[in-house]
Amino acid sequence: MSTATLLLVSGDYSLIKTVRDVAGSVGDLQVKVLPDARAACSHLGQEDAALVLVHLRGGAEEGRVTDLLRKAATFQTPTAVLDVSDRSHAEQALILRRRVVDYLSRPLDLSLPSYLRDVLMVRARYEAPLAAPAAQEVEAPGEGQDFLCDGSAGMGLLVEQVRRVAPQEATVLLGGETGTGKTRLARLLHELSPRRERPFRVVHCGALSATLAGSELFGHVRGAFTGADRDRAGKFAEAGRGTLLLDDVDALPLGLQAKLLRVVEGRVFEPVGSNRSVPLRARLVAASKRRLEEEVAAGRFRADLLYQLSGVGFYLPPLRERLADIPVLADKFAREFASRRCGDVQGVTADALRALRGYSWPGNIRELRDVIERAVARCPGPRVGLSDLRDLLGS
């Protein structure tokens, strides 16, 4: 395997020394140090890097990380962007996850080595001849995890991190826009965990009735309210010793957020109308398409609940920041829908891929899947062309 480059964006001498020492102990990595994100963007315009570590100083520098992500997404060989910060509070970590692949806190010699090994492993997949798509290596039983292709280093690292976290009992918070694959990531966490043979339940918090939300979550006893003619188990009980996903958790009203806080903290809940505490045995995973720190600032979400939910966090970036994934996903979806229709479509042409990469994808992977399904229905074969995409990519 050829020497890979670790790009460090920092002016902190002690941090630079630590990174050089760790990189030297892990593998064949060349460390290049640049003073700021602007210089890093310029460098990435000339050559790629296996990993970019950014030591943020706040202000405009944080905004320029977005430019780094866009630049990194254009390379065929994977590049990941990680933040190194002196801030350690979980809520601050979530803020940073909105713009970078992940967040590292000091001391780096404890956390950085495993990241570097993962980066080198993902990188090696692309240098190996005739390598099969890495997505096939991470699929778990059940639904195809089609959003977890390793077209970018960020997704390759995400898969490795999910593998480490899945066997643990920690509550997990998932962030990302609609259509990025949060529900499938939650299912993958479940299927890679010791709970895989137990139930996987999803609560769509945004669809809960304000008057019946408590009953849906916690269940109720007979006579708790008009129409409650029998005891009813809620989602927390139905999940048993499995996994319970609270999707769109930001949609819960503040009163229910207070009750959820008690569940997360104390691992017990009470059915509506009952004074009996029931132990929660399921693993909790929460997901939100909104930035919860902004919801806290607006008074719509409890800061203490955010803190409790964010013990382990994953952020799924939008498809427009995963340009290297589009060819892999498009070909996968084309073959999938062709097989369902007994067709002979084998992939997507270069012209069509350029059009797909140039679109903003407000609906993310879900929208890409829908577009390819409709294009395959039009396509006579053997590959989806530009003409098959007409009227499918918005204005």
How do residues 31-67 score in pLDDT, each as one tens digit? Answer: 888 887 778 777 776 776 777 777 765 555 555 666 6
334 and 263 assigned to the same domain: no
Count Cα neighbours of 84 within 13 Å in the Cβ-side half-sphere.
24
| Pairwise CA distance, residues 78 & 324, whole Å | 8
Which of 109, 103, 51 minimizes the C-alpha distance to 81? 51
173 and 246 in a single domain? The answer is yes
The radius of gyration of the chain from alpha carbons, rounded to an integer in Å, stands at 23
Q: Cβ of 279: how many Cβ atoms within 10 Å?
A: 9
Domain co-membership, 378 together with 280: no
Distance in angstroms (rounded) separating the CA atoms of residues 330 and 336? 10
The residue out of 290, 315, 340 marking a domain boundary is: 315
Q: Do 225 and 267 lie in a common domain?
A: yes
* Residues 173 and 67 placed together within one structural domain of the fold: no
pTM of the model: 0.67
CB atoms under 10 Å from CB of 179, counted, come to 21
C-alpha span between 6 and 79 (Å, rounded): 10
Contact (CB, 8 A) for 26 and 116: yes
Query: Into how many domains does the chain fold?
Result: 3
CATH assignment of the domain containing 363: 1.10.8.60
Are 214 and 267 part of one and the same domain? yes
DSSP-H helix ranges across the chain: 13-26, 37-44, 60-73, 90-97, 108-127, 135-138, 153-165, 182-191, 213-218, 235-238, 254-266, 292-297, 303-309, 326-340, 350-357, 364-378
Structural domain ending residue among the three candidates 127, 150, 184: 127
Q: 286 — phi, psi (to 5°)?
A: -115, 150
Clarify whether residues 361 and 288 are in a common domain. Answer: no
Compute the average pLDDT of residues 105-121.
69
- Determine the length of the chain: 395
Does a structural domain hold residue 182?
A: yes
Please say if the pLDDT value at position 317 is more than 90.
Answer: no
DSSP state of 290: S
Distance of CA 56 to the CA centre of its chain: 22
Give the per-residue pLDDT at 105: 63
Tell me how far apart the 2 most distant CA atoms of the chain are, in Å: 70
Here the tokens at position 386 are 């530009």
Both tokens assigned to 268: 């017990």
Task: Give the range of the structural domain holding residue 331, as residue numbers without chain letter.
Answer: 319-389
Q: For 30-86, give the DSSP string.
A: EEEEESSHHHHHHHHTT---SEEEEE--STHHHHHHHHHHHHHHT-SS--EEEEEES
- For residues 172 and 310, membership in a common domain is answered with yes
Average pLDDT estimate for 75-104: 54
Q: Are 52 and 9 in contact (CB under 8 A)?
A: yes
In this prediction, residues 279-306 reach a mean pLDDT of 92
Residues 342 and 301 in one domain: no
Q: Per mean pLDDT, which range of 127-136, 165-174, 274-283 is the poorest?
A: 127-136
User: Of 88-102, 114-128, 172-186, 191-205, which range is least confident?
Assistant: 88-102
The predicted pLDDT at position 137 comes to 34
Pair 30, 5: CB distance under 8 Å: yes
Q: Report yes or no on 34 lying in a domain.
A: yes
Rounded to 5 degrees, φ, ψ at 111 are -110, -30
**152 falls within a domain:** no
Percent of the chain with pLDDT over 90: 25
CATH number of 8's domain: 3.40.50.2300
- Structure confidence by residue, pLDDT tens digits, 158-213: 777 788 888 888 889 999 899 888 998 999 999 999 999 999 999 999 888 777 78
Q: Are residues 247 and 308 in the same domain?
A: yes
User: What's the pLDDT at 48?
Assistant: 67
User: What CATH code is carried by the domain that includes residue 174?
Assistant: 3.40.50.300
**Residue-wise burial string across 36-53, b where 16 or more C-beta atoms lie within 10 A, e elsewhere:** bbeebbebbeeebbbbbb
